[in-house]
């Protein structure tokens, strides 16, 4: 039986992402090169995703189109929810993804790259999103339980696609299904 996985913001080939910092000043992505980062992400991806599985990528796949072919090395049937850096023609993206959307509703959850506005969240169980890298959506000084960031970094998914059942377990532990 196939599994569905979620991930976001891989930024394959994006050497400048190695200069991004966390709030404490430490590196957001602690790799010596973009090539090392890419290889690590490919290894982590393929360690859990099988060829028959589905992966919803929540955007910002690559910065430069020349890095798109790395997607051919990744297991699974890939669907793209476009991010702000996914600027290539849809026809180009469809060479690597079986479907490309601006957002997606799945199991009454909204999947987006950038978090949806808080006034919209009431229409859905939760917002599964990317874009924020090491940050999270806050509400009155606490993590907003209705938002879950799937950015590739260690803080969120440790460079590994997360199975959908695990995402729902995390949301359930926050009490959003009560």
SS3 annotation, 2-21: CCEEEEECCCECCHHHHHCE
pLDDT at 123: 87
> Looking up tokens 């992505």, which residue turns up?
29
CA 176 from centre of chain: 21
pLDDT at 122: 81
| Selection from 14, 133, 131 nearest residue 81 by Cα | 131
CATH for 4-173? 3.60.21.10
Read off the pLDDT of residues 33-91 as tens digits, 9 standing for 90 and up. 999 999 999 999 999 999 999 999 999 999 999 999 999 999 999 999 999 999 999 99
For residue 115, CA distances in Å to 45, 60, 75, 149, 176 come to 23, 14, 27, 8, 17
Say yes or no to pLDDT of 172 above 90.
Answer: yes
Indicate the domain borders of the chain: 4-173
Say yes or no to pLDDT of 178 above 80.
Answer: no
Read off the pLDDT of residues 114-168 as tens digits, 9 standing for 90 and up. 999 888 878 899 999 999 998 999 999 999 999 999 999 998 999 999 999 999 9
CB atoms within 10 A of CB 116: 18
pLDDT at 79: 98
| Selection from 83, 70, 76, 74 nearest residue 34 by Cα | 70
| Selection from 21, 20, 22, 18 nearest residue 32 by Cα | 18
Q: Which residues of 126-159 are buried (b: 16+ CB within 10 A; e: fewer)?
A: bbbbbbbbbeebeeeeeebebbbbbbbbeebbeb
pLDDT at 67: 98
pTM of the model: 0.96
pLDDT at 120: 80
pLDDT at 171: 96
Rounded Cα distance, 174 and 178, in Å:
9
Say yes or no to pLDDT of 94 above 90.
Answer: yes
């Amino acid at each position: 039986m196939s599994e569905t996985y979620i991930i976001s913001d891989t930024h394959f080939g994006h050497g400048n992402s190695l200069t991004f910092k966390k709030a404490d000043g430490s590196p957001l992505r602690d790799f010596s090169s973009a090539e090392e980062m890419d290889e690590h992400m490919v290894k982590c991806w393929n360690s859990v995703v099988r060829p028959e599985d589905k992966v919803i990528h929540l955007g910002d796949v690559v910065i430069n189109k020349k890095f798109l072919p790395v997607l051919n090395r990744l297991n699974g049937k890939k669907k793209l929810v476009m991010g702000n850096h996914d600027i290539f023609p849809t026809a180009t993206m469809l060479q690597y993804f079986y479907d490309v959307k601006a957002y997606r509703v799945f199991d009454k959850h909204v999947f987006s790259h950038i978090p949806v506005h808080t006034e919209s969240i009431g229409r859905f169980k939760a917002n599964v999103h990317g874009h924020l890298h090491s940050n999270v959506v806050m509400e009155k000084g606490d993590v907003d339980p209705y938002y879950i960031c799937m950015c590739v970094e260690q803080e969120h998914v440790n460079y590994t696609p997360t199975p959908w059942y695990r995402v729902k377990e995390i949301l359930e532990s926050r009490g959003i299904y009560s």
